[in-house]
Amino acid sequence: MSVRTKAIEYRNEDLKLAGDILIPTGECKAGTVFIHGSGKSDRTNPWYREIAEYLAHHQIGVLLSDKRGCNESEGDWRTADFHDLAEDAIAGVEALRNHAKIATDLIGLIGVSQGGWVAPIAAHERNVSFVVNLSGATVRPREQFHHEVMNDIRQMRLPGWLVHVYFPLAELFLRRKWPAWHDVRFFDPVPLWKSLPAPGLLVFGEEDEYDNVPVKESIRRIKDIIEEANGCQLTIKIYPRSGHALREPNGKQIRPDVLESLVEWIINVSRKGA
């Protein structure tokens, strides 16, 4: 199926945002808005673009934006907390709803990495059909960062006790680069996942445990929600021998089974919600 790409501009109140809408030329069964991970990022991000192109070629429309303060979007991501970024995502949902080819009640969110903290916030503030978390931790940001720093220390083959010296310095550097860190570091996503008003899919690469995300603990917290709640709409997918980017073991491209499963899940939940 061929895909048509259209550059758009839309607004979050006084803030101009921009991005690309990728629309299948044939039937469009659902739509989704991507939420960026940490740092500077825009619609040309190769990781997100690879996923977005695949979705669009498989009957799912996509809005892939420039993160605020990047490329053609106004604002500054460095001073934006998760609620600010959630408002940007909501503005993206409304922009996608204005596209004639996408059913207004079949639009969801895909939060990538740090975007996995933002997506459930947006889902609680605006009605969406589904929420996907790709390689996003479900622990607090400061817990995730501590885990990442510990992995760095292990990879450098330094003694573990150095984390008590290195972590405060790493956090100070992070706060200078990203001032909003002070406002988001203790954010707990678990209550939002527990009360998520739409079906949720959480996708992890098992090897990310040794890189960015405390995968085992993130999964444990979601499994606790699933076990406690009747009729829980959360699904977990774990991919062995893949890391944060969910690539094949050779590292060249995103695993086909990740992409195939993502399309299948989105279309299935959208069909049920139609």
DSSP per-residue codes, 161-213? GGHHHHHHHHHHHHHHH-TTHHHHTT---HHHHHT-SS-EEEEEEGGGGGTT-
Q: What percent of the chain shows pLDDT beyond 70? A: 99
State yes or no: pLDDT of 263 exceeds 70: yes
Q: Are 44 and 125 in contact (CB under 8 A)?
A: no
Q: Which residues contact 103 (CB under 8 A, 6 or more apart)?
A: 30, 31, 274
DSSP per-residue codes, 243-270? -TT-B-TTSSSB-HHHHHHHHHHHHHHH
pLDDT classification of 192: cutoffs 50, 70, 90: very high
| Whole-number average pLDDT of the chain | 95
Q: pLDDT by residue (tens digit) across 209-225?
A: 999 999 999 999 999 99
pLDDT at 271: 81
pLDDT at 274: 58
pLDDT classification of 198: cutoffs 50, 70, 90: very high
pLDDT at 158: 83
Residue pointed to by tokens 């039937």: 27
Mean per-residue pLDDT for 88-112?
93
- Degrees, nearest 5: CA angle 103-24-252: 120
pLDDT at 103: 82
pLDDT classification of 105: cutoffs 50, 70, 90: confident
Mean per-residue pLDDT for 244-248?
96
pLDDT at 9: 97
pLDDT at 273: 63
Q: Amino acid identity, residue 205? A: G
Angstrom distance (rounded) from CA 226 to CA 194: 8
State yes or no: pLDDT of 251 exceeds 80: no
Q: pLDDT by residue (tens digit) across 12-47?
A: 999 999 999 999 999 999 999 999 999 999 999 999
Q: Are 106 and 97 in contact (CB under 8 A)?
A: no
CATH of range 3-138+189-273; options 3.40.1550.10, 3.20.20.70, 3.40.50.2300, 3.40.50.1820 = 3.40.50.1820
pLDDT at 162: 83
Q: What is the pTM of this model?
A: 0.96
pLDDT at 161: 85
pLDDT at 160: 78
Task: Tell me which DSSP letter residue 63 carries.
Answer: E
State yes or no: pLDDT of 163 exceeds 90: no
Which of 66-75, 92-101, 258-267 bottoms out in mean pLDDT, i.e. has the lowest? 92-101
Angstrom distance (rounded) from CA 235 to CA 217: 16
For the chain, domain boundaries: 3-138+189-273, 141-186
